[in-house]
Structure 1
């Protein structure tokens, strides 16, 4: 299956917190979209890898995406090395996305920045014909390099290079976040789980407020922000004009 857009997250729930609205918009526009989680989030203070797997599945259903995979790298300890680069190259050649999204280039969680560099390096290497990979049927894969790699913005503040209006799907984005019931604030959750920074109601409020702040930049209610190393080109100014409905 060819995808137009593929989002990578080092932990299950990274996508939901940062760019799920964009996936929903693109899916509503008829695009095929997917998610690849690099780890199972097994080092998370709350929940287990098994519960995260089920929550990721539930979120994928809410988002209506075409595919979600987990590469089962070591949470906290994965390296930007040939083994892991090849895992990502194989996925990129399998789905042949035009655009990929990945973690922030720097963040309070060290996995995020390391993941961003890993995905960016693999995206380049995936276009080299002399790097050989095979699919699940042991068939040789053709080289493929996405046209764009964008970083979504996570916990630390970055001024975005561009933002996507997600106002029309923001409620669904929040629903996908809440699918990770072991991770985020839930009034009905067991008190036996330890409280963390991300399990507080203030954390979810910060996600909403960030979307409002990015939305304010372009005069809409909610938006998601992205960074790009590559210059983005336009054929006409039409792409900058929001059509009224």
Structure 2
């Protein structure tokens, strides 16, 4: 078992980079073991191919310093929140035993993001139930139950109100480079592929702007926002920035 400190789920390759790339880079730089598991290959994407997306995802993983990057091969656009998929995610949560899990946005333009968010969040809860039995994919042995201590959701297309922000000053350029790894998906003036909502120059520039604007609100250069499933708490008032 290769225990992770943080496990990040994404419905598609590039979800994790767009929503939490700066936070991931900051945590790996601090020595934390972080992994990303993508639910689908993004095969319905207008631009690129699943094979190319996989290569891009592995390049982004190197840039972010990930311990593992896996893809579960669910059906892009058509995966369901059902028992089969829940068990698959429960198996992964138990395999890596993360203390923190980052999930897709709770509500977003792409239907897979909201579905993925629910699937991921529910799997984190169900993973702690002893009477749900799963086998380790490597050893075939019965897995121990495991429930992450913290489950957070990053923010994606919709500008949802965050419950807290992570200062990613000093890690914004790594986030940008990890996003650029997906050259088939984002702005490229020389591309001959069809335009999409995320392939415009405006969208790419908005990634930096949104991080900068949230940073302004919390008094830092750049920040990423997250929503929580329960009321966050601090030990002392002075711990709030």
Q: Same fold (TM over 0.5)?
A: yes
TM-superposition CA deviations, 1:174-231 (whole Å, max 9, x none): 000000000001234x31x111111111001111111111101111111000000212
Which residue number corresponds to residue 139 of structure 1? 141
**Residue aligning to 1:160:** 162
1:148·1:230 contact (CA, 8 Å) conserved in 2? no
SS state at 1:62 partner: helix
Structure 1 residue runs of 4 or more that deviate by more than 3 Å after TM superposition: none
The reply to whether residue 172 of structure 1 matches residue 198 of structure 2 is no
2:184 paired residue among 174, 182, 185: 182
- Length-normalised TM-score, structure 1: 0.95
Name 2:84's counterpart in structure 1: 83
**1:124-181 deviations in Å (ceiling 9; x for gaps):** 1000000000012211100000011111011111111000011111001000000000
Unaligned residue ranges in structure 1 (runs of 5+): none
Equivalent-residue separation in structure 1 for 2:231 and 2:40 (angstroms): 30
2:195 and 2:229 map into 1 onto residues whose CA distance is 37
Determine whether 1:27 maps to 2:28. yes
- Looking at structure 2, the residues matched to 234 and 167 of structure 1 have their Cα atoms a distance apart, in angstroms, of 22
Shift of 1:237: 3.8
**Alignment coverage as a number of residue pairs:** 239
Q: CA deviation at 1:238?
A: 4.8
Shift of 1:236: 2.8
| Partner SS, residue 125 of structure 2 | helix
Deviation at 1:27, TM superposition (A): 1.0
In the alignment, the residues of structure 1 paired with residue 54 and residue 204 of structure 2 have an alpha-carbon distance, to the nearest angstrom, of: 21
1:233 match? 233
SS of structure 2 residue aligned to 1:199: coil
2:48 corresponding residue in structure 1: 47
> Which residue number corresponds to residue 224 of structure 2?
224
C-alpha contact (below 8 Å) 1:165/1:215 kept by paired residues: yes
* Offset, 1:78: 0.2
In the alignment, does 2:194 pair up with 1:213? no
Aligned to 1:208, the other structure's residue is in SS state helix
Secondary structure at 2:143 match in 1: coil
**SS of residue paired to 2:85:** helix
What is the Cα deviation at residue 240 of structure 1?
Answer: 2.5
CA distance in 1 between partners of 2:189 and 2:169 (Å): 26
Counterpart of 2:73 in 1: which secondary structure?
A: strand
- The CA deviation at 1:2 is 0.8
TM-score between both structures, scaled by the size of structure 2: 0.97
